[in-house]
Amino acid sequence: MIALDSPASSYATQALYKLHGLDLATRDRLEAITGNRAEVGYLPTDDKAPWRSTRNTESLEQRTPMFVTSSWRARDPHDPDPDSPKGWLHAASGVWVDIDAPTIEAALRSVLQTRHKLKVLDINPDTCSLYASGSKGFHVHVPLYLAGLELDINTVHAWPRLCREFVINALVAEKTDLCIYNGGLGRMIRQANVQRNNGAYKVPMHWHELDGLTAEGYREVCSAPRPQIEVKIAGVAPKAAAMWQRGRNDVFREMRKKITQRKTAPANSTKDRPRVLEALRVVERGVTSGEVSYIQWLQVGSALKSTGWPDALQLWERVSAGHRGHRDRNCAERWDGLQGGCTLGSVFHIAKGLKGGA
């Protein structure tokens, strides 16, 4: 059996990464949606070295990596190519705004514009995290509970586009870097209080410190590590929620043909059921022999739940009965938590990959 969770992280560490959008509630929701284990990536040095991944945010604090992703990621169970960068789904509880300018003065003008735009959305800037990047820029993290974010399968499929659209519609300033929302690996955000190659640090700041800040003052701020700053908590900001929903509608309208819609298979389908039962017999042998992983087992349960068949749970229990740790794979206990996000294609794919599969 694979352990469901890494060692518990300290409250302080979890609070720190929650500021970055990497809270465990988002991780758990992503796992429930996809049926796959979620992880977060990091780079240990300030260069182009290959990135690594972990599920344990406490380990990131211990490693003090140079970069950390701003989102959890999990494999899309419906992507047939395990090596495809498009096969990863992302989610976080916030969105980053990256201000990158040729001069500190230009960066200051842009971050002040961003602060003004937060206020236009009725967002108190003190509910958002502000960092000086240590070069010529700033990083702002906006917790998306302020916009009433609710994660679902379509949201995680479109995550980078949704973040980009929200920033364009609501927060873009003169030197906002929109390129950070491209790519398939998730946004890599510089870790606070880790020394850069230039000797400076990315450090947390209070918003009021921007007033009257000069280039010389900026360099002084970034000359040494600083304590993390706990943000204020507020309720949903209706203007921000409306802006997130507007962007969501625009993105989904554009991506309608590309976004996978999870449809419930017709109950007792005469077309699919015989093939499913045949594939389940192959999967059952794989469970008994130990060839079926824990994640694959969850995918089978999720796919069966999506059918709506009255005996779907019983079929999953029959598949699971031969596992030597069957009590650890209690189907009834996990049934209500399955989101039904997988289709019967997952069952056929797993069966095909097993020895003796069709």
DSSP classification of residue 50 = P
Q: Identify the pLDDT of residue 168.
A: 92
Instruction: Supply the pTM of this predicted model.
Output: 0.69
Asked if 92 and 198 touch (Cβ cutoff 8 Å), the reply is no
- Between 263 and 151, the more confident residue is 151
- Pair (280, 240) in one structural domain: no
Rounded to an integer, the average pLDDT of 275-297 is 86
Structure tokens at 275: 């093939």
Q: In DSSP terms, which residues pair with 99 in a beta bridge?
A: 138, 176
- Pair (89, 213) in one structural domain: yes
How many Å separate Cα 162 from the centre of its chain?
Answer: 12
- Pair (135, 29) in one structural domain: yes
Asked if 26 and 93 touch (Cβ cutoff 8 Å), the reply is yes
Rounded to an integer, the average pLDDT of 29-53 is 86
- Pair (200, 316) in one structural domain: no
- Pair (316, 245) in one structural domain: no
- Pair (49, 193) in one structural domain: yes
Which residues 6+ apart lie within 8 Å of 226 measured at CB?
193, 201, 203, 204, 205
The verdict on residue 181 lying in a domain is yes
- Pair (300, 187) in one structural domain: no
CATH at residue 176: 3.90.920
Rounded to an integer, the average pLDDT of 158-177 is 91
Q: Identify the pLDDT of residue 20.
A: 83
- Pair (62, 105) in one structural domain: yes
The verdict on residue 119 lying in a domain is yes
As a whole number of angstroms, the distance between CA 334 and CA 139 comes to 40
Burial group, residue 122, by CB count within 10 angstroms (0-12, 13-18, 19+): middle
Lowest-pLDDT choice from 138-152, 180-194, 341-355:
180-194
| 3 Rama sector, left if φ>0, alpha if ψ -120 to 50, beta otherwise | beta
Residue 20 domain boundaries:
11-254
Q: Identify the pLDDT of residue 3.
A: 29
> What is the number of structural domains in the chain?
2
Query: Confidence class of residue 325 from pLDDT cuts 50, 70 and 90?
Result: low
Q: What is the pLDDT of residues 241-264, one digit of tens each?
A: 999 999 999 888 876 655 444 444
Helix-, strand-, coil-residue percentages of the chain, each rounded to 5: 45, 15, 40
Residue with tokens 């302020």: 146
The verdict on residue 348 lying in a domain is yes
Asked if 200 and 135 touch (Cβ cutoff 8 Å), the reply is yes
Q: What is the pLDDT of residues 295-320, one digit of tens each?
A: 788 888 888 888 888 888 889 888 88
- Pair (17, 153) in one structural domain: yes
Mean pLDDT over each residue of the chain, to the nearest integer: 83
As a whole number of angstroms, the distance between CA 8 and CA 138 comes to 32
The verdict on residue 332 lying in a domain is yes
The verdict on residue 135 lying in a domain is yes
Q: Identify the pLDDT of residue 6.
A: 38
- Pair (281, 203) in one structural domain: no
The verdict on residue 358 lying in a domain is no
The verdict on residue 178 lying in a domain is yes
